[in-house]
Amino acid sequence: MSLLRHVFTLLVALGLPVHAVAQPPHACADPRPLRLALVPEKDPYRQTQQYRPLLKALEHTTGRRVAWIPTTSYGAVIEGLLTGDIDVAQMGPASYAVAMSRGAQLTPVASFRLRPGPATPDASAYHSVLISKRSTHLQNLSQLRGRTLSLTDPASTSGAVLPRQAIQSLTGLSLESYFSRITFAGSHDRSLEALRQGRVDAAFVSSTAIDEAVRRGTLRMDEIHVLWRSQPIPYDPFVIRLALCPALQEQIRRVFLGHTQRLQPMLQELGMTGFVPVTAENYREIRQLYP
């Protein structure tokens, strides 16, 4: 019998009020190891290597081991946060909104400060873009009717959610009605590769994915037509579970918003210039899509 139950039984036997038993305070979560996940925006191995400085910085600041949680979809990250199997994650704006609509207890902490690129002229936001190969001579949306399309993941903001809305608004038809075949590549770089290899006629991807491909030399801007561009989208939030102990939450915040010397290799590799603080308000318009 537990000590608390023993005391409870003794009080009942003595006829004393049960409310005299001091109840233990609600315990916060202090996971060891801390579990980190990323939505799969690119090749998993390359993404893991690029973000390894973040893992090391979290270990250094929190004084505990940090474990990668491998994920195969945006939905897997959402589920992991809902079940408490993931503690810190980078999410797309729409996947964050979906998680919150399902009752997740999360707080956005920070987002990358973007470096302007050929497809992302503004450092404060990115875009969903519809592109085709220049060699196919498909130069406008009307020419894509009945063609094939690559999306990234059903929960990707720029690679599925906003494209679905855009096609409905611009053509009056659903994606499935407008295109003859739609495939989900699983990540932005795979969508770009499907387009480059001619497996699809067009692709919706993030402007930052195009910038990274140009920077890495796997794509040139003169190889593609940009047929549509969304309004600016707030960039992906890093979120933490609110159940984590306050001291641990503060340590995690410091990794992103304090001294970031340890993260400079990652920022340089990703083409980012730093981090900016974000709150739920930054993603209010996206969250309104998922009441």
Tokens coding 189:
């770089």
**Chain-centre distance for alpha carbon 115:** 18
Can you give the pLDDT at residue 25?
54
The H or E element that residue 77 is part of is: helix 74-83
Give the per-residue pLDDT at 5: 41
* pLDDT digit string (tens) for the chain, length 291 residues: 443 344 334 333 434 443 433 434 578 999 999 999 999 988 888 999 999 999 999 999 999 999 999 999 999 999 999 999 999 999 999 999 999 999 999 999 999 999 999 999 988 899 999 999 999 999 999 999 999 999 999 999 999 999 999 999 999 999 999 999 999 999 999 999 999 999 999 999 999 999 999 999 999 999 999 999 999 999 999 999 999 999 999 999 999 999 899 999 999 999 999 999 999 999 999 999 987
In the numeric block, which tokens belong to residue 235?
């960039």
Over residues 152-190, the pLDDT tens digits come to: 999 999 999 999 999 999 999 999 999 999 999 999 999
| DSSP type of residue 126 | B
Which stretches of 51-153 are assigned E, i.e. beta strand? 66-68, 88-90, 106-114, 128-133, 148-151
Q: What is the pLDDT of residue 134?
A: 96
pTM of this prediction?
Answer: 0.84
Q: In 3D, which of 252, 214, 266 has the Cα closest to residue 107?
A: 252
Residues 6+ apart with CB under 8 A from 108: 96, 237, 238, 239, 278, 279, 280, 282, 283
- The pLDDT assigned to 3 comes to 36
* pLDDT at residue 7 in the model: 34
Cα separations (Å) of 204 from 15, 131, 148, 169, 211?
Answer: 70, 7, 11, 16, 14
Q: How far apart are CA 187 and CA 208, in angstroms?
A: 13
